Chain A
């Protein structure tokens, strides 16, 4: 039988990445957070295609840089501080003035609260400077609608100058208004990308006016103010070079919350992040995962641990507090319009988990990755077991902690309930578990060498195991859990995912398998096409997704600036294809790909969008929280928060849709709406009450029959 090889490990890692990608796509599909599209997918794409970076080492011709170099100790001194000068330019060369810049050491989490997160603001020349930096890796963020992010590494004593020129985008002339159409000065304009922290991207000036330059298409923004509830969200539509006008309408009266954040021993906690996420109830699409409003109110505590959160909608809100070195907490606070509520929030002590990872003989296993996460705190830390198998995870938020142990061919989860201040000992034994062995042959019975077999549990757990066939075509999948049912993803050498062959319903501990791979399983095909916008120009700001429906693997799609896309190396099967256009998805007809077939979908022209505004007749005082949108075939295509109880100019794909207003106690009855290209539709909807109902469906799986037929 073959031993695990380096290639098997690579296959395992690749499969995990693909699984994560699938979960991400599935999450996008089911989680329906409308801002998830611009904040995740489009941001990443813009970074890749823009790369607006001219990175240079500081020139000695620059006196300031020369001075810094002269003062800087020799680079060989690892303690010598580094410095970074950032020069921000709009696409036309103008200086990027008054822009917030965040520099974050690479070793703190994306959402982590840390005093080591450095902030700066560009001056009148578009420059921001950071001095006395510890050498190492950093992530740079510019709080600008380009969502610019850049990873960089600074050497000891280095003086770096980084010139950032934003991609050409849309010029947005905006105005913040109240419900009586009066301009509101001093309102904060927020990106709907929640990672942008506690700083708005702009403030409204006299008459509520504000200006945003080089905004990328489908960028989402919202406004908050001290005395109004936040505005509904607006997505910026247009092409780079366009100039658009938008209005952000603040909603009714708001309330404020004054509070104090204390440590577990009643000491004031400065710099704690206080977030009012307006977290909603879990909805059906989310499979129990809560959605989060992005137009959230955030602030930090002062030196005395005090905070003031203004412009909060008058509901019972969740508040989350986190600070470095403390366990995160959440609480509820009732916000009343025109009034101030008081709250004291006490952080908990952190917890620790330590132990050893052992094999069946009690010997320590080295290089096992151990990570901890929880619902409240997200990812909290990661460790790798040492030569004795020992690991330690510190600074954990107490509560229910999910531990993941990850090694080649093995992935185990454990859930621990850990108390504040506790240092929990937890040893894990990596039992070899059950096995699945087998033989992989072609239709003539010849063994197939170096094929990869990845087993993924889909019932009874989340286990994973991988192996590779040897010269005799034999394979052995180890560490499989009893009670789990697995799918085998079978891939030819040098063949990517989706796999060439799928085999369902595999349970460990059964007799050896004999798997015959049909000839046509080796034939790979492709799907190509071109996407144009309503004006016949290559579409900007969109993503293509191609998913192999049987395996549910997302396929890699090569998308060019001219709108052409190509997904290749595809096995036969049915493919689900959709275009993600800002907050909405457009499903294309499914493609049934024959073995080795190349399908050209030709030119796909997107329609001119319309928009939808909603006014509610609400005699029962119900709280609408989200609007789900379906196409005429009842397929969900998008969703939007109704945080402030209304909807204004939401971009809609033309056609016949069903819309469904969702909220606690609200009937989920859907209404039909027809949107014509360019139409700005205004609808009145009467809100009705409903009873919370849970339906549960189970099904008889034909997996046993499938398994027998494949053997």
Chain B
């Protein structure tokens, strides 16, 4: 069972935007934050050692409810 996910979110120039310890509900970790448009990368690691990294681009015209989904392996 993994309840905790450690997550770091940086922008393209490496500036830190989020460093979180998320607790899941029914296996889903949610992060709500405020980001300027731009390129972002994230790194997640859970207690079992499973980790994931990826990137996404947030456009200026994206809706406030934009949801990104990733899978940890």
- Chain B, range 1-47, C-beta contacts under 8 Å to A: 1-3, 5, 7-9, 11, 15-23, 25-37, 42, 44, 46-47
Q: Is A26 an interface residue (CB 8 A)?
A: yes
> In the complex the two chains form, is A702's CB within 8 Å of B20's CB?
no
A701: B residues at CB distance < 8 A: 1-2, 27, 48
Q: Is the CB of A694 within 8 A of B1?
A: no
A contact patch SS: mixed
Please, which residues of chain B bring their CB within 8 A of the CB of A660? 18
Give the docked Cα–Cα distance between A460 and B28 (Å). Answer: 12
Evaluate contact between B32 and A282: CB separation under 8 angstroms. yes
Q: Is the CB of B69 within 8 A of A634?
A: no
Residues of B within 8 A of A669 (CB): 11, 15-17, 36
Known: A697-B44, A697-B69. A670 touches B23 (CB 8 A): no
Query: A459-B26, A702-B50, A703-B1 are known contacts. Are A693 and B19 too (CB-CB below 8 A)?
Result: no
Shortest distance in angstroms between A662's beta carbon and chain B's nearest beta carbon? 8
Asked if A696 CB lies within 8 Å of chain B CBs, one says yes
Known contacts A284-B32, A692-B32, A693-B34; A458 and B1 CB within 8 A of each other: yes
- A332 CB within 8 Å of chain B: no
Cβ of A464 under 8 Å from chain B: no
Chain B min CB distance to A22 (Å) = 10
Interface: A504 (CB within 8 A):
yes
Q: Give the B interface residue count (CB, 8 A).
A: 50
Kindly provide the distance from the CB of B59 to the nearest chain A CB, expressed in whole angstroms: 9
CA distance A669 to B27 in the complex (A): 27
Task: Name the contact of B15 in the complex, choosing from A549, A670, A696, A699 (C-beta under 8 A).
Answer: A670
CB of B23 within 8 A of CB of A287, answer yes
Task: Report which residue of B28, B36, B52 has the largest number of chain A beta carbons within 10 angstroms of its beta carbon.
Answer: B36
The answer to whether B35 and A459 have CB atoms under 8 Å apart is: no
| With contact pairs A636-B19, A669-B17, A693-B66 given, residues A287 and B34 touching in the complex (Cβ less than 8 Å) | no
Total number of residue pairs linking A and B with CB closer than 8 Å: 159
Query: With A284-B22, A552-B3, A701-B2 given, is the CB distance from A694 to B65 under 8 Å?
Result: yes
Q: Which of B11, B16, B70 is the most central at the interface, judged by chain A CB atoms within 10 Å of its CB?
A: B16
Q: State whether B32 touches A694 (Cβ < 8 A).
A: yes
A635 on the interface (CB 8 Å rule)? yes
Cα distance A697–B31 in the bound complex, in angstroms:
8
- Expressed in whole angstroms, the Cα–Cα distance for A693 and B67 within the complex equals 7
When the two chains form their complex, are residues B34 and A504 in contact, meaning their CB atoms are under 8 A apart?
no
Write out the residue numbers on chain A whose beta carbons fall within 8 Å of the beta carbon of B48: 701-702
The answer to whether the Cβ of A367 comes within 8 Å of any Cβ in the partner chain is no
The answer to whether B16 touches A667, judged by C-beta atoms less than 8 angstroms apart, is no
- Asked if A698 contacts B19 (CB within 8 A), the reply is no
- Give Cα distance in the complex from A29 to B20, angstroms: 11
Most buried by B among A549, A630, A665, A668: A668
- Which residue of the partner chain B has the closest CB to A697? B29
Contacts of A691 in B (CB 8 A): 34-37, 58, 60, 62, 64
A669 to B11, CA, bound (A): 9
Counting chain A CB atoms within 10 Å of each CB, the highest count among B1, B11, B16, B60 belongs to B1
Return chain B residues, CB-CB under 8 Å to A662.
34
Which chain A residues in 283-299 approach chain B with CB under 8 Å? 283-285, 287-288
Give Cα A692–Cα B32 distance, bound, in whole angstroms: 7
Residues of B at the A interface (CB closer than 8 Å) are 1-3, 5, 7-9, 11, 15-23, 25-37, 42, 44, 46-48, 50, 52, 58, 60, 62, 64-73
Given contacts A29-B21, A284-B20, 7 further A-B contacts (CB under 8 A): A287-B25, A549-B47, A552-B3, A669-B36, A693-B33, A695-B68, A697-B69
The 5 closest A-B pairs by CB, nearest first: A690-B34, A699-B72, A634-B19, A697-B29, A670-B16
A-B contact pairs, 10 of them (CB 8 A): A458-B1, A504-B1, A635-B21, A636-B19, A662-B34, A670-B17, A691-B34, A691-B62, A697-B69, A699-B5
